Homo-oligomer: A and B are copies of this chain.
Amino acid sequence: MQQEERQEWLGVTAPKGFWAGAAAAGIRDGKAERLDVAILYSEQPAVAAGMFTTNRVRSAAVEATEARIREQRRLQAVVVNSGNANACTGEQGTADVLAIQIQAADLFGLEPGDIGVASTGVIGVPLPMDRLSAGIEEAAKKIRDDGGRAFAEAILTTDTYTKEVVRELTVDGQTVRIGGAAKGSGMIHPNMATMLAFLTTDAEVESEALQEALRHAVDASFHCISVDGDTSTNDTVLLLANGMAGNRPLRPDHPDWDRFVEAVTEAAIHLAKAIARDGEGATRLIETRVEGASTDEEARRVAKAVIGSSLVKTAVYGADPNWGRILCAAGYAGSSFDPQNVDIYIGDIAVCRRGGAVPFDEEAARVVLRGDPVPLRVVIGEGSGKAVAWGCDLTERYIEINAHYRT
Contacts and interface: CB of A to CB of B under 8 A. Distances in A.
Contacts of A89: 356-357
A337 B88 contact: no
Given A308-B229, A336-B56, A320 B406 contact: yes
Contact of A340 (B90, B191, B322, B332): B90
Contacts of A355: 57, 88, 90
Interface string A392-404: 0011101110111
A94 to B, nearest CB: 11
Given A123-B327, A231-B332, A329-B230, A322 B406 contact: yes
Given A56-B332, A88-B324, A357 B125 contact: yes
Contacts of A314: 398-399, 402-403
Nearest to A399: B396
A139 to B, nearest CB: 26
A38 to B, nearest CB: 22
Contacts of A317: 399, 403
Contacts of A403: 314-315, 317-318, 320, 395
A55 interface: yes
B55 A230 contact: no
Interface string A205-230: 00000000000000000000000111
A270 to B, nearest CB: 26
Nearest to A85: B324
A121 to B, nearest CB: 10
A354 to B, nearest CB: 7
Interface in A112-149: 122-126
Contacts of A395: 399, 403
A331 B336 CA distance: 28
Nearest to A124: B324
Given A308-B229, A311-B187, A324-B87, A124 B356 contact: yes
Nearest to A318: B403
Interface residues of A, number: 67
Contacts of A325: 123, 187, 230
Given A311-B186, A402-B318, A124 B55 contact: no
Contacts of A407: 318, 320
Interface centre among A57, A125, A323, A395 (most CB of B within 10 A): A57
A399 B402 contact: no
A103 interface: no
A320 B233 CA distance: 19
A398 to B, nearest CB: 7
A191 to B, nearest CB: 7
A10 interface: no
Contacts of A406: 320, 322
A332 B191 CA distance: 9
A125 B357 CA distance: 7
A310 interface: yes
A252 to B, nearest CB: 32
Given A88-B355, A229-B308, A404-B320, A54 B187 contact: no
Interface of A: 54-58, 85, 87-90, 122-126, 186-187, 189, 191, 228-233, 308-311, 314-315, 317-318, 320, 322-325, 327-333, 335-337, 339-340, 352, 354-357, 394-396, 398-400, 402-407
4 smallest beta-carbon distances between A and B, as pairs: A123-B324, A318-B403, A57-B331, A314-B402
